[in-house]
């Protein structure tokens, strides 16, 4: 028996232990899906799957509650497979080994899959536990959320009967989510021309590093330094006076992480090397002053280098530098609906130079789809001015906050009544599946709740035991309180 069977509430924890025992990383959810289908049919519940593999299970209303608005409880089937370097674990065959450590449940050396396994277990526990009172109920378990939201993208209209969707994929007990940002990648390709570095030039690498970096959505409002933007700003200020030639520029590693480091390889006439050094030091002092509170470890390093690369022509150099320097970055607009939350942002994430081409990859996020369109149009305009080709890629919609959502108001009242404190109504500047559900189900009233999970997507993932109890109480009281149609 798992030590999770000692925990309360049951059967939620036992169901979670069973989920842990069946491998279910993204793209390998089939075994768990089949298990759940068999389990539901054994219980005499209607269960079916759609063409992308999403599971839908229906349970009739508790006697006397048939007139309530139908509700769908939703979770994703997959988990993120991450392990420590020294852990031997095959996520496609080996079970997750959860254990209790004080107030928390953790896994041994791997992600736990509490994201979204606790949510999934809570939905199945409502199906299993006849003492929970509810109106007409559906449970929707989606495929491959963590690796592209395949299930949410494939969800068909007229499949769900519910009017209200409760998403269980948020990770802070006491917070209620009513909206999330959508995103889109944006790629700018600028053709480059090169020529040999003139004789008598000295070559250097100019490195800007030591920035904190972070999640390009959740932390975009913090005002952290973006290495790409900070390095190009120096070049924009001094390339012409130094007669500087640009051989290379590379910065950032992921489009969804704020870049921590950028490096330019440059050449200047030998008699200007001293001036370059002075200017680089002066620039470091400027940045240290501007970012004193946020970026304590920021440094600018100039080092002699050898390179046989050709340099960009001065015209090509200027176009590249001006394009990147003029590119907007960070917060574009804050939300009027969700106070203190970013509505639209972008992260100038990755810059790389090839022989004939510079590529700049941005990730744009917005709570409103037209906010993304606005940034796309700015970047397209900028690209056109520079003679670059541009293309957006892989967009997904946001979940626009609805300040008048009845279910959000009901969750707030229910939480207040149960715990005698006001929950935080939140919008996240990152992705949830709810935005995609709005397409086939534009009138669905949606809200997202969950227990407290820290370190999701990492081997440090853990779920707070007491918060699971609070979350379960909130969920079951909420189901009881859903109004009549
Ligand atoms: Zn999740």
Do residues 56 and 139 lie in contact, with contact meaning Cβ atoms separated by under 8 Å?
yes
Q: What is the pLDDT of residue 36?
A: 98
Q: How far is the CA of 152 from the centre of ligand 1 (A)?
A: 12
Angle between helices 465-481 and 12-21 (to 10 degrees): 120
Q: Out of 29, 115, 138, 145, which one is annotated catalytic?
A: 145
Distances from the Cα of 380 to the Cα of 328, 375, 388, angstroms: 12, 8, 9
d(CA 259, CA 250): 11
Q: Which residues surround ligand 1, an ion (CB under 5 A)?
A: 115-116, 169
- Write the pLDDT tens digit of every residue in 304-327: 999 999 999 999 999 999 999 999
Q: 428 φ, ψ to 5°? A: -105, 140
d(CA 235, CA 230): 9
Q: 7 φ, ψ to 5°? A: -85, 160
Tell me if residue 145 is catalytic. yes
Q: What is the pLDDT of residue 53?
A: 98
Tell me if residue 34 is catalytic. no
The 8-class DSSP code of residue 79 comes to: B
For the record, the structure tokens of 178 come out as: 């009513």
Q: What is the pLDDT of residue 406?
A: 97
Q: Any idea which architecture 184-396 has in CATH?
A: 2-Layer Sandwich (3.30)
Q: Looking up tokens 């109920």, which residue turns up?
A: 137
Q: How far is the CA of 409 from the centre of ligand 1 (A)?
A: 23
Q: How far is the CA of 282 from the centre of ligand 1 (A)?
A: 45
Q: What is the pLDDT of residue 1?
A: 57
According to DSSP, the residues that pair with 263 across neighbouring strands are 207, 250
Q: What is the pLDDT of residue 366?
A: 94
What is the separation, in whole angstroms, between the first and last Cα of the chain? 43
Lowest mean pLDDT among 322-331, 374-383, 421-430: 421-430
Angle between helices 227-238 and 273-290 (to 10 degrees): 130
Q: Of 392, 330, 401, whose CA–CA distance to 361 is shortest?
A: 392
According to DSSP, the residues that pair with 215 across neighbouring strands are 257
Proportion of the chain above pLDDT 70, given as a percent: 100
Q: Out of 78, 146, 171, 433, which one is annotated catalytic?
A: 78
HEC profile of 294-317:
CCCCCEEEEEECCCCCCEECHHHH
Q: How far is the CA of 17 from the centre of ligand 1 (A)?
A: 18
Q: Is the pLDDT of residue 210 over 90?
A: yes
According to DSSP, the residues that pair with 358 across neighbouring strands are 190, 353
Domain boundaries, the chain: 2-181+398-481, 184-396
| Domain 2-181+398-481 listed as CATH 3.40.630.10 | yes
pTM (two decimals): 0.77
Do 2-181+398-481 and 184-396 agree at the fold level? no
Q: Of 453, 440, 478, whose CA–CA distance to 160 is shortest?
A: 440
- Residue-wise DSSP of 186-197: EEEEEE--EEPP
For the record, the structure tokens of 365 come out as: 């996020």
Lowest mean pLDDT among 28-42, 139-153, 192-206, 265-279: 139-153
Q: How far is the CA of 50 from the centre of ligand 1 (A)?
A: 21
């Amino acid at each position: 028996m798992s030590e999770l069977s000692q925990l309360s509430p049951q059967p939620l924890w036992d169901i979670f232990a069973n989920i842990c025992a069946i491998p279910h990383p993204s793209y390998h959810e089939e075994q768990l899906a089949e298990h759940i289908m068999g389990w539901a049919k054994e219980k005499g519940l209607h269960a079916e799957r759609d063409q992308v593999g999403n599971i839908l299970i229906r349970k009739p209303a508790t006697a006397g509650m048939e007139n309530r608005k139908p509700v769908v409880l939703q979770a994703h089937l997959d988990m993120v497979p991450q392990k420590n370097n020294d852990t031997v674990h095959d996520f496609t065959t080996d079970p997750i080994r959860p254990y209790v450590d004080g107030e928390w449940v953790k896994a041994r050396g791997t992600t736990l899959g509490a994201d979204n396994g606790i949510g999934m277990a809570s939905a199945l526990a409502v199906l299993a536990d006849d003492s929970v009172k509810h109106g007409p109920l559906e449970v929707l378990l989606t495929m491959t959320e963590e690796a592209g939201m395949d299930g949410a993208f494939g969800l068909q209209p007229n499949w769900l009967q519910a009017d209200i969707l409760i998403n269980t994929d948020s990770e802070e007990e006491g917070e209620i989510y009513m909206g999330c940002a959508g995103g889109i990648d944006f790629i700018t390709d600028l053709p480059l021309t090169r020529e040999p570095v003139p004789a008598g030039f000295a070559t250097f690498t100019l490195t800007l590093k030591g920035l904190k970096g972070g999640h390009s959505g959740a932390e975009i409002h913090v005002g952290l330094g973006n290495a790409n933007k900070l390095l190009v700003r120096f070049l924009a200020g001094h390339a012409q006076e130094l007669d500087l030639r640009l051989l290379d520029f590379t910065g950032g590693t992921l489009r969804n992480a704020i870049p921590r480091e950028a490096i330019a390889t440059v050449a200047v006439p030998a008699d200007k090397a001293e001036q370059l050094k002075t200017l680089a030091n002066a620039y470091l002092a400027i940045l240290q002053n501007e970012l004193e509170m946020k970026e304590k470890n920021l440094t600018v390093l100039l080092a002699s280098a050898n390179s046989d690369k050709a340099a960009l022509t001065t015209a090509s150099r200027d176009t590249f530098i001006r394009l990147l320097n003029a590119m907007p970055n960070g917060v574009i607009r804050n939300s009027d609906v969700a106070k203190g939350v970013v509505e639209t942002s972008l992260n100038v994430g990755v810059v790389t130079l090839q022989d004939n081409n510079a590529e700049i990859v941005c990730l744009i996020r917005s709570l409103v789809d037209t906010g993304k369109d606005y940034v796309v149009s700015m970047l397209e305009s900028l690209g056109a001015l520079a003679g670059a080709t541009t293309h957006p890629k892989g967009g997904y919609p946001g979940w626009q906050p609805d300040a008048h959502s009845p279910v959000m108001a009901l969750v707030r009242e229910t939480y207040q009544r149960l715990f005698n404190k006001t929950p935080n109504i939140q919008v996240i500047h990152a992705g949830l599946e709810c935005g995609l559900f709005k397409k086939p189900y534009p009138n669905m009233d949606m809200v997202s709740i969950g227990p407290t999970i820290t370190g999701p997507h990492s081997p440090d993932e853990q779920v707070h035991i007491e918060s699971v109890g609070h979350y379960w109480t909130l969920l079951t009281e909420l189901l009881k309180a859903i109004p009549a149609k």
